[in-house]
Amino acid sequence: MGSLADIRVLEFASQYGAYAGKMFADLSADVIHIEPPEGDPTRFVWPFYKDKPDREGSLKYLYHNTSKRGLVLDITRSEGQEVFLKLVKTSDIVIESFNPGFMESLGLGYYIVL
pLDDT in tens, 16-35: 889 999 999 999 999 999 99
Domains of the chain in sequence order: 8-113 (3.40.50.10540)
Kindly report, residue by residue over 47-94, the tens digit of the pLDDT: 999 999 988 899 999 999 999 999 999 999 999 999 999 999 999 999
User: Degrees (nearest 5) of the Cα angle 23, 10, 8?
Assistant: 75
Q: Cβ-count burial of 45 within 10 angstroms (0-12 exposed, 13-18 middle, 19+ buried)? A: middle
Q: Which amino acid is at 100?
A: P
DSSP letter at 50 equals G
Is the pLDDT confidence value at 1 over 70?
Answer: no
User: Is 70 in a helix, a strand, or coil?
Assistant: strand
Residue 113: what pLDDT? 82
Q: Which amino acid is at 73?
A: L
Residue 14 has φ and ψ, to the nearest 5°, of -80, -170
